[in-house]
Amino acid sequence: MDRKWKKIEKDGYVILDNGNGVCLGIGADSEVPILEVDGYAFKDFLRSGELAPYEDWRLTSEERARDLAERLEIEDIAGLMLYSAHQLIPAKGPLAAAFGGTYDGKSYEESGVKPWELTDQQKEFIVKDKVRHVLIMGLESTEAAVRWNNKLQALAEQSGFGIPANNSSDPRHGAGSMAEYMGVTGEPISKWANGIGLSASFDPEAVKEFGEMGSAEYRALGITTALSPQIDLATEPRWMRLCDTFGEHTQMTIDMTKAYCDGFQTTRDSQDGWGKDSVNTMVKHFPGGGSGEAGRDAHYGYGKYAVYPRENFQEHLKPFTKGAFALNGKTGKASAVMPYYTISYNTDRKNGENVGNSYSKYLIQDLLREELGYEGVVCTDWGITHDIGETEETFAGKCWGVEHLTEAERHYKALEAGVDQFGGNNDAAPVLEAYEMLCKTYGKEAATARFRRSAYRLLLNIFRTGLFENPYLDLEVSEKVVGCPEFMEKGYRSQLRSITMLKNKNQTLPLTQGKELKVYVPNRFIRSYLDFMSHPTPEQNITPAGKKLLAECFTVVETPEEADVAVCYAESPISVGYSPSDRENGGNGYVPITLQYRPYEAVHARKESIAGGDPLEESQNRSYQGKWNTAANEADLDAVIETKKRMGEKPVITVISVKNPMVMSEIEPYSDAILVEYGVTPQAVIDVLTGAFTPEGLLPIQMPENMETVEKQQEDVAFDMACYKDSEGHVYDFGFGLNYQGVIKDERTRRYTREDLNGKEV
């Protein structure tokens, strides 16, 4: 039979072009033989000289995944169940100490290797532990990403059954200075509004467009799984992860979820939607992590409980049931789900267990698998099987509710619950030990079948995205895709569209006078507080990035007295709901998370917490009633007040980077104009300030009237706060926003209205 394929040499790999078939990629030095069947080329991973079903690219992904799942040894399946810790490419700089990585036993700086070389640890977990799911954090450049990916795939190709690496990333398209991994991401990826900023556009089609372009850049970097979107209903305004969600409006979150997943997962002109352009989405966090008691977060022992005081658990499921599991596109459902760290308190009415969501057989097996019929991958959040730290605030393992179990026993319990994969674990040993426990409890046949079910799900996502055919990247092609002008322009426009104008007294904005206009910009000060890793931050004196950009448009002066107008940059109040010093002084450690700048006393807080109990605590009552807290950036308010005092009748414009709702009554009276942004580049703000772009963002959240309404709202209920009314008579509620002509009323505000629990417009 005539040969229908040809060989094309590439940089470090080879393309086997099957003409009207599928193009295959194989390492330049690969030991995998090539089979010719019916004139086409196939990879003979098994080196058997015969074409196995999983090697046959003409079969469906389901058929191939099922065949390979039955062939794997338990050790291979254990490797598939692992999801690596965060990887830096290369492993350099200050974060290398925390996340690890050596080259022949040396640091990157000492080794002299190229930035795309594999670390000792990466070589070991690919070959020894058979890891095939790798979480990428830092990328020095597009070139480093491409060459590293090709080296990793070449190594994976040679071992076991030739299963390629399914590389993944947390969101990396965010534009703001606090965007996830912004500090270590080097590739010139396009920058978009993220999470709550995308929602401020009130436009799901724009989110779908982001998904399509974001997935193209991910694939060009070798990333085939997105650990996103975050679809928790953000019904608790104090939650530190609110800014990454789509907000608290159920239908908007459903629509944004569908758009995001369809955009990322769909390959056009594919019969089932899957293919070489697809990126798996891992929606998080099941069954919803947005109702943490008093806003505390479950990355820490002090925030392990999600509560449902109004029994509103079912509402939090809707972004999954009506969104992620009911996509409009051909792929049908998000390919993976990540449960949150939280203990969803008293939701298990069947077994009565209060354990972390990934350990709950009721939540994963009974609810997610059986009742909701979800058959995709369930992957734990990172580090849930690791041991806890010495104190409640320590950033360590998050084995909530099963702290007393060994690491292997935790894996066993999660497997019993229905989990397929363990985030942040490179080590196969505890998974294999858990398998032996399953054998003792259920018998070897049942335990093996259980492992093969997970293997099928995990392999299916790899087959669907075409990695078995060609996991290799062409550097020239990738450099044309990543950060291309079209993507950059679209991303920047999404930033502009997210910016929300709340106040514009006497048409203060836009500023159009040019260099003759004198502008004053005060500096910022933030005192020390516990950061994400629970480390005390240094005190910060900050010159706003926008000051330099304003100097390009106007004349920036050093005192308010010289100025015609002032622009004050601020951030929503920063606070942490746990205080080691309170604990050390005999308290329970719990303090209020405040959404106001000035010192706040929690007079209206619960006297008894809903949930409690922890191996590190004697009391189960986590109440902070009567305690005080003050925002670490209280000086932001001081700067606005002092500037207004010295400016007199001259206008003061306040630009606030909002991560959570905030009590606007402190800062609004001293501001003639207010712009809210949710994490955008400084230039985007300048373009709105100067009228280069007319603001069109709408509030995707409520701005509370005071802290009393914050304390009285229920963690699991949306839109249950009294909202602030400003001096212009405008109420800062969901859907409010101004343009230069006045209050925005358009199709978007008619489509998404604030609703109460009965679905009636308020």
Q: In this predicted structure, what is the pLDDT of residue 757?
A: 45
Strands, sheet with 742-743, edge to edge from the N-terminal-most edge strand: 555-557, 518-520, 565-571, 652-657, 673-677, 500-504, 738-739, 742-743
pLDDT in tens, 279-336: 999 999 999 999 999 999 999 999 999 999 999 999 999 999 999 999 999 999 999 9
- pTM for this model (two decimals): 0.97
Q: In this predicted structure, what is the pLDDT of residue 760?
A: 45
In single-letter form, the type of residue at position 9 comes to E
Q: Which residues pair with 676 in a beta bridge?
A: 500, 656
Average pLDDT of the chain is 95
Average pLDDT over residues 126-151: 96
| Pairing assessment for the beta strands 6-9 and 738-739 based on DSSP bridges | unpaired
φ and ψ at residue 161, rounded to 5 degrees: -105, 15
545-564: burial string, b at 16+ Cβ within 10 Å, e else:
ebbebbeebbbbbeebeebb
3-state SS, residue 336 = strand
Average pLDDT over residues 247-274: 97
pLDDT in tens, 400-423: 999 999 999 999 999 999 999 999
Q: In this predicted structure, what is the pLDDT of residue 1?
A: 66
pLDDT in tens, 149-159: 999 999 999 98
Q: In this predicted structure, what is the pLDDT of residue 149?
A: 98
Which strand (E) or helix (H) includes residue 550? helix 545-553
661-674: burial string, b at 16+ Cβ within 10 Å, e else:
bbbbbbbbebbbbb
Of 340, 426, 407, 321, nearest in space to 380 by CA: 340
Q: In this predicted structure, what is the pLDDT of residue 185?
A: 64
Dihedral class, residue 391 (left if φ above 0, else alpha if ψ from -120 to 50, else beta): beta
List Cβ neighbours of 703 (8 Å cut-off, separation of 6 or more): 502, 661, 662, 663, 664, 723, 724, 732, 733
The alpha carbon of residue 413 and the mean position of all alpha carbons in its chain are separated, in whole angstroms, by 26
Average pLDDT over residues 251-272: 97
Give the confidence band of 759 by pLDDT, cuts at 50, 70, 90.
Answer: very low
How many residues in the chain? 762
pLDDT in tens, 171-195: 999 886 443 334 456 789 999 998 8
Asked if residues 357 and 384 have their Cβ atoms less than 8 Å apart, the reply is no
Tokens of 702: 């409520």
Spatial separation of the C-alpha atoms in residues 528 and 495, rounded to whole Å: 30
Spatial separation of the C-alpha atoms in residues 350 and 363, rounded to whole Å: 10
What percentage of the chain's residues is helix, strand, coil (to nearest 5)?
Answer: 35, 15, 50
Q: In this predicted structure, what is the pLDDT of residue 183?
A: 44
Give the confidence band of 199 by pLDDT, cuts at 50, 70, 90.
Answer: very high
List Cβ neighbours of 446 (8 Å cut-off, separation of 6 or more): 438
Give the CA-trace dihedral at 494, 497, 498, 502, to 10 degrees. 170
In single-letter form, the type of residue at position 174 comes to G
Neighbouring C-beta atoms of residue 441, cutoff 10 Å: 11
Average pLDDT over residues 498-518: 96
Please check the confidence at residue 617 and state whether its pLDDT lies above 90. yes
Sign of CA dihedral 688, 694, 698, 704: positive
3-state SS, residue 449 = helix
Q: In this predicted structure, what is the pLDDT of residue 62?
A: 98
Query: How many distinct helices (H) and strands (E) make up the chain?
Result: 22, 28
pLDDT in tens, 421-442: 999 998 999 999 999 999 999 9
Asked if residues 334 and 324 have their Cβ atoms less than 8 Å apart, the reply is yes
What is the widest separation between alpha-carbon atoms in the chain? Answer: 89
pLDDT in tens, 46-99: 999 999 999 999 999 999 999 999 999 999 999 999 999 899 999 998 777 778
Spatial separation of the C-alpha atoms in residues 422 and 383, rounded to whole Å: 8
Asked if residues 498 and 697 have their Cβ atoms less than 8 Å apart, the reply is yes
pLDDT in tens, 89-114: 999 987 777 788 999 999 999 999 99
Asked if residues 61 and 274 have their Cβ atoms less than 8 Å apart, the reply is yes
Give the confidence band of 697 by pLDDT, cuts at 50, 70, 90.
Answer: very high
Instruction: Please give the radius of gyration of the chain, using alpha carbons only, rounded to the nearest integer.
Output: 27
Q: In this predicted structure, what is the pLDDT of residue 762?
A: 40
Please check the confidence at residue 596 and state whether its pLDDT lies above 60. yes
281-299: burial string, b at 16+ Cβ within 10 Å, e else:
bbbbbbbbbbbbbbbbbbb
Q: Which residues pair with 567 in a beta bridge?
A: 653
